[in-house]
Every structure is written in C-alpha cells, then in structure tokens.
Structure 1
C-alpha cells in the first residue's frame, strides 16, 4: 500500500464501522439487504432452559455453545484465557467450541446462509461482514433480554446499566417499525489531545481547559522551540476533522453533528461549526509547522515522541501504535479539547468516544441464548478488566479499569472518560455515509489548517458538497434521530 498503511486503513475502518453500526436508519439497512441471504427458513431446534435468578437468559446448562473470534490486533487470549474459563466455571457441563480466524466473512457468511452458524460471532477485520445486511436478513438475535438481564458480577445492576453512555444505541437498528439492539460493540476508543506528561511536568505546563489558556500555553511551547500542535496532512487529515467536529459539538451540543449527518440545509453554516473552524484555523496559522502537510501520521507521531511536537489529536490506539518509539522520557497522556467559547453548551470535560469491535449472537445457531450468555460473561467487570490488561484497550463496561495502572496513556484516557461522565458523545456519521463529503472534508481541513485559516471558506465548501449530495437522487440517504 503506497500512501496509507494497512494499520491506518484498519484504524479508519474501525472508527467508521464503529459509527456506522449504530444509529443507522432503516433505509441504510434496507439498502444493504441484498448483500446477505436470508438463510435457511427451516426452524431450528434451539437449546433452552428454565429462566431463574441464576439463569436469567434461560440457557440449557448442558448445551454446547460455539463461538468464533477474529484473530487480529486484539489477539484471542481474552477469549481463550478469560471469557471461556469464566463461562465454563459458571456452566461446567457446557462445552465451548472455539474457533479463531482472520477471514470472518469467508468463514461465517456461508454458514449463516445455510442456517448452521456459530452461536456467538466476533465480526471484525478487513473481511468483516456487512452487519446491516445481517440484521436485515434476520440472522442476528435481538439482544434486548441480554441488556435487561442482571450483570454477571455487578450486583443490583442490569447488563445495560453497567455500560458507558451510547453503548447500546450504537448497536441498535430500526427494524420492523421499532428500534432493537443487535450488537455488542465491545472495545472503546477515546479521542483527545495526546501529549508527553513528562515534558509538561518538566516545564510546569498545565493542560488547558479554556481556549485562552490553550493559546497562552501554545505561545510558551513555541518559545521553547517546540511545535505546539500538529497532525499529518498526507494521510491523517481526518484526525483534524474529528477535532473540529468535537469542538463544534461542545459549543452547540451533538445536535450540531446530527444536523450535518441529516444533510440539513445550512448545517455547515451553523455558528458552532464556524466558531470551531475559526478557532482551530488560527491554531494552524500561528502554531503549526506547514511542512507537516506532506508528512504521514507515523512521521509526526515520531516527532512527538522526540519532544518536537507538544499536542497531537488522536485516539487511544496511539500509545500501542508508537510502542517501539517510546523512550523512558516519554509518557503518554491525553486531555479533552479545550472549550472554544465561554458559553459552550457542553463542559470542558466533554469528549468524543466511540465503541467498536462487533460481537453478536446468531439466530442461525443452535444455542442462541448460550451465545447471549457468553456475551453476558464478556460484559462482566472482571472479564472487561482482563481484556484491557491483555489488549491495552478500554471496553464499554463503565469503570472496569478504574484504579488500574496498565499503561500511562490508557490510564490517562480512562481517567478522562471517567471525568466526562454523561458528557460523552459518539460523534458524526456523514463521513461514513457519504464518501463525497468525506473526501471534500480532508481537502477542506488541510486548506483551513495549513493555508490561511479561512473558516468561512471551510464552511462554504462543506455546505456546497453536503447540498450537492442531498440533491443527488443516485445517492442513498440516511437519517439520524
């Protein structure tokens, strides 16, 4: 791959798929329905048991359960060494049939269509299946009873009550006139400004929460001979798009982003969008290195590891991606984007975060409830903590990693998430739904940040593209509530 590395593509896919699996409207699901067959119409005998306080999903304690896990960046040890032993400890007479593969669609799609699928499937990777089509075909089980069931290990709470805000919604679809959850999006990415805590401590620099403090600190950093803020224009422009969108949502709430997704006329001219673009554009004018327009993400990230860059906008995969370049003098930490105005409707602690990595129970398995019970085990606090220790990735189980020192960046991200509380929002979907808008945004944000900081031009460019898309009858449209 010439301009974009495989890891970069995988990360983009994760972010966009994480968004796309949730909040999808009926037209989007319907549009994809031709991609997956409905499968065998023959009724399968399902393993079931008696519901009780100890068995809230009513599984058959002796029935085997089959799971398939994607063998990718997260590895498989969390399944083999944590989840499966926990399941077996609870249901000793049940055999767990386990398979790992890099080729999810190639392996699973024929079995779904034949009506003999595994009971729980991890749908991920470059060969992931189109989950919207799976839902439309009736091959994914409704998880309402899972989220309503008691938590596996948190007394007094349902599974749903133990999850971060938006986790259930992100796997919910409009089907048959109602909204139902069909997916567990398990891994959780937080976004913000990453920096070297040791560098900041050494210089007595305080992480800013207001824009005035942000620019004042940038002045000090610049005077010290360090680039205050940077991103790679060659292949990571979408990091900067996300920063601007996050600031806009903090100014005017997430509704600002929903209006963009819904192609609402004038949405790109909204005061919150223009204020965010204007503020960030001036950061580009005063504090960025213009040569970074031609650099790739790893090149800029390496410069940050060498203390040549102070703040870098990114997601929580960054620390793991740069592991080989981290020196003893570098310690990752992350902060929310500062409040742009003194009247932002969301607090300075508000952040954008997105769940990804789809797991679902299949209606075409022989033990659907067993598949759901396996998910209930995964969504326990104990299993979530061990997942984080093994993968250095947070999960959607709220507070599962609280108090743990797993790695500096992860600890900082978890602390930021905890402080955000209810002020966590999922972001936007227009870049996933409309390629024309995504392509235009990458060029427009580079022009804004590297070529003069013209916020009105940025807004005009995106408004025109958005309305061109809205008027184009050949493009299928989606809506967001």
Structure 2
C-alpha cells in the first residue's frame, strides 16, 4: 500500500487485485510527467484573508476523485458540501467521482495535463507515488500544512495531525507530497464475545497463542485466517512482531533495502512462529484461496479466531458482522522475554492518501477541501460513517465509538511511544505486495516454502529492487 499505501489505503490498504501498476500504465504516467499533451490553465488565485488563508478562487469549480473502497465516498461528499457553504459561488461546480480504477481512470488525465484537483490515490490500482514524486507531478502541501487549522486559527494544520502522518508524505527533503487522511491501527483482530464464550483471553505471549489455537482446534475453530489471495495483509501483524522481537532497527533495515536485512534473527524467529501456525494446522482450511472479503466473512462467522487486518475492517465487514460480535484488536503477542520492545507495540500510521496534482486546474481548492476535511465537523462525520480514526489528533470527543474502533483507539493509547511505521509498503509497492507479500509470505503460509526459503526469497527480491536503477530509493532519516 504505498506508493503506496497501503494499500488499499495507503495502505494497502485492501486490494482486490495483486497488480498495482501495469507496465503500459507506468509508461504512460512517466510520459505525462515528462511533458504530456494539452494541459489546462490554472484558475486565478483569490483574495487571501483570515477566512480564506489559501487564497482560494471563491467561484472556481473543483474536481475531486475518491477511491470507492472500504470507506466509500459519502464522507468526501459531506466535506464538499462544507466547501460550498464556505464558498457559495461554487454551488453546482463541484465535480465528484468515485472509482476503484484509480490508475486506469486517471493516468490518461495526467498524460493530457488535465488531472483532478484532489485525488484519493488508494486501492489495488493506485498510482505509484514514487513515480509521481520523481516526475514532479504533485503539489507540495506545505502551504496547506502551514495554514491556520479550521477549528483554531492559532494552530497550523500541521500541528493538529497525529504523530508520523506528516512524515509519511515526505520522500526526501522537507516537501510533503501526500496527506494521509485516515489513521489506521493494524493488528490481530478478533471477537471478544467468542473468546469470552469459551473462557479464553487474548494471548499476550506466543506460547499462549499456540496453546489457545490448539484448544480452539479441538472445538472445531481455526486459530487464524487471512486473505490468502492477497497475503500482503500478513505484515499488518507480522511486521510489528518483527520490530517487537528485534527492535525498530530491524524494520528500518528492511525499509532501507540493506543487504541481509531479511536474514536478521528477529525475522527468522517471526517467520518460524507464523509458519508454526500453518504447520500445526491452526490456519483455516482453504485460506490460501480466499480473498479479503471471504476471509473476513469466515472470521465473522466464527470459523477462525484471529485475522491480521487494519481498522477499516469494522466498516468493511459491517454487513456480515453479527450484532454480538464485539470486535476487538490485539497487539502482536510477545515471542519471549528477550523481545526488544514491550508487549503492546503496534503498527499505526496514516492511511487513505490524498494528493493534489501540480497541473490541476484548481490546486488551491484541492488543498482547501483537505483543510475542511481536517476540521472537527468533517472528522467526526468520517469517524461515524466509516468507523475509523482520521489523521486529526482528536475528533472523538463526545462520540460513541463502535466496538472495533474503541478497541483500536484504546490499543493505540496504551502503545504510547511503542508505535512503528514500516515504510516498505509506501516506498516500494510492487516489492511489498507482489513479491514479498504474494511470492514469499503467501507461499510460506500456504505450506509451499520453509521459513529459511522465505527469508532468502525476500532478501533476493529486496536486493533486486536495490540494484534496479529505474526504482527511486528512499531511506529513513
């Protein structure tokens, strides 16, 4: 999901196909970045004021494209309505569209020099952020970040964001090219009511995890399931597990494409632990053939106790989740007392990446809509509609949160500083999803590859990417 992100999200975050970019699409996008054809003249700036700090043209139209995934599009429409209230002359001039085919729909527009003003660049077909950045196709969002926040003019937008969100939009230098709107808590998701029914508790150690899975198997319940067709969901719990065992530096080395990063003892221990789930028959039968929806439905039906996922899962499964399910999320279990980070360490980061194209007709309008979205009203609407936190640091005050989101927020608060944010999924999407996710982890968890072979395969893929001059490289600062 990076480049990004996640995926479906940023994510990642929740894909319906394994390919992120086709070769023809990437070629087209590169072509547009080196010149393209046509082009649209940008609208004139408006008058800058306390009410209009970004100098938006108050009568210009706005063109918005939203990824139609687990979060839907209604939250964006509601924010657009607030935009019209702020600038009444734009009434009837907001062009809104939603699609899962981000790359297919928008590459031609980038090629022609007529991209939208604001894009939710997410999903399985999101455009590659590395390419967009390296080809100078995006607007630097620092002017937005330095503008007064919607709710408190004494605070800059950047000062209202959750920790790490701003940095995720940086690739090198101080420029911020992407603003992640959602805030995703990753972990091991489960039904609190199902565990309580059997007198079980969430396992805080790996020995307890194996013991619980063994007991569940006797009751005809699998320990785990996951989207076998899209096994790049596995890192949602596996990566913070690796960091917990070996420290943050293990993930940093992986992100930096360092030689032998995948051969670290922490990686070996984590891979062997997850492989043991498969070897002992604790994975739901048929999981390698399930997509994300099918695995989540099976989990909702109580066929498996645990599933690695992000906090969008509550909204995405709301049609199949039983009323008494009482969804919860747990941090990766501790391997043993030698772990470098404490129990409660999680992966949490921005999701749902928004971009403002440099050649958009109304880029200031695109940034202003983001400023509105990061206000309390739009944030609370987002939280209530899609059961997810936003990147605004707050917004939950006075709201009754659904079980999964309440659990996620509690987990995040307890984690404190023990939050990691792997960047592989937004720096090197193809490497993360198709290679490490599908061709390595997917094969290991399907029982077709040993942990040792999986480690070697991951390192091979990382080394190939490191040596590929066509792939722009990024490093932790």
Is TM more than 0.5 here? yes
Displacement of 1:386 in angstroms is: 0.3
Q: Deviations over 1:175-209 (max 9, x none)?
A: xxx33012222133322111111112223322233
**Does the Cα contact within 8 Å between 2:10 and 2:353 map onto a contact in 1?**
no
Structure 1 128/470 Cα, relative in aligned 2: closer, same or farther at 3 Å?
closer
Aligned residue for 1:23? none
Displacement of 1:110 in angstroms is: 6.0
1: CA distance between counterparts of 2:65 and 2:111? 19
Map 1:29-428 onto structure 2 (within 5 A).
33-38=30-35, 44=42, 46-52=44-50, 54-59=51-56, 62-70=58-66, 72-73=68-69, 74-80=71-77, 82-92=78-88, 95=91, 97-101=93-97, 102=99, 118-124=116-122, 128-154=126-152, 156-174=154-172, 178-231=173-226, 233=228, 235-286=229-280, 288-289=282-283, 291-292=285-286, 294-297=288-291, 298-365=293-360, 367-401=362-396, 404-428=399-423
2: CA distance between counterparts of 1:41 and 1:442? 39
2: CA distance between counterparts of 1:475 and 1:224? 52
1: CA distance between counterparts of 2:169 and 2:207? 38
TM-score, normalised with respect to structure 1 = 0.79
1: CA distance between counterparts of 2:466 and 2:268? 21
**What runs of 5+ residues in structure 1 fail to find an aligned partner?**
1-9, 20-28
**Does the Cα contact within 8 Å between 2:187 and 2:236 map onto a contact in 1?**
no
1: CA distance between counterparts of 2:218 and 2:434? 36
Displacement of 1:50 in angstroms is: 3.2
Give the aligned CA root-mean-square deviation in angstroms. 3.8
**Does the Cα contact within 8 Å between 2:436 and 2:458 map onto a contact in 1?**
yes
**Does the Cα contact within 8 Å between 2:61 and 2:95 map onto a contact in 1?**
no
Deviates more, 1:192-201 or 1:95-104: 95-104
Structure 1 109/304 Cα, relative in aligned 2: closer, same or farther at 3 Å?
closer
Deviates more, 1:302-311 or 1:99-108: 99-108
2: CA distance between counterparts of 1:78 and 1:301? 24
Displacement of 1:33 in angstroms is: 4.0
Structure 1 424/97 Cα, relative in aligned 2: closer, same or farther at 3 Å?
farther
Q: Secondary structure at the match of 1:181?
A: coil
Displacement of 1:219 in angstroms is: 4.3
Q: Secondary structure at the match of 1:398?
A: coil
**What runs of 5+ residues in structure 2 fail to find an aligned partner?**
15-25
1: CA distance between counterparts of 2:343 and 2:264? 20
2: CA distance between counterparts of 1:42 and 1:294? 47
**Does the Cα contact within 8 Å between 1:76 and 1:100 map onto a contact in 2?**
no
Q: Deviations over 1:418-445 (max 9, x none)?
A: 3334433332427945549943653543
Q: Deviations over 1:332-384 (max 9, x none)?
A: 22111122232433332222234333323344345433332221111112211
- Residue 479 (structure 1) aligned with residue 474 (structure 2): yes
Structure 1 253/296 Cα, relative in aligned 2: closer, same or farther at 3 Å?
same
1: CA distance between counterparts of 2:448 and 2:39? 60
Q: Deviations over 1:25-59 (max 9, x none)?
A: xxxx999643435467998563132344x443344
Structure 1 305/157 Cα, relative in aligned 2: closer, same or farther at 3 Å?
same
Structure 1 374/166 Cα, relative in aligned 2: closer, same or farther at 3 Å?
same
Q: Secondary structure at the match of 2:171?
A: strand
Displacement of 1:286 in angstroms is: 3.5
2: CA distance between counterparts of 1:369 and 1:156? 21
**Does the Cα contact within 8 Å between 2:67 and 2:102 map onto a contact in 1?**
no
**Does the Cα contact within 8 Å between 1:65 and 1:94 map onto a contact in 2?**
yes
Q: Deviations over 1:384-411 (max 9, x none)?
A: 1102222333322223235633532233
Deviates more, 1:289-298 or 1:418-427: 289-298
Deviates more, 1:82-91 or 1:187-196: 82-91
Q: Secondary structure at the match of 1:173?
A: coil
Q: Deviations over 1:115-173 (max 9, x none)?
A: 66554344456665554444445443221121122321156532122222221222223
2: CA distance between counterparts of 1:41 and 1:192? 44
1: CA distance between counterparts of 2:361 and 2:179? 20
Structure 1 221/368 Cα, relative in aligned 2: closer, same or farther at 3 Å?
same
2: CA distance between counterparts of 1:69 and 1:452? 41
Deviates more, 1:114-123 or 1:387-396: 114-123
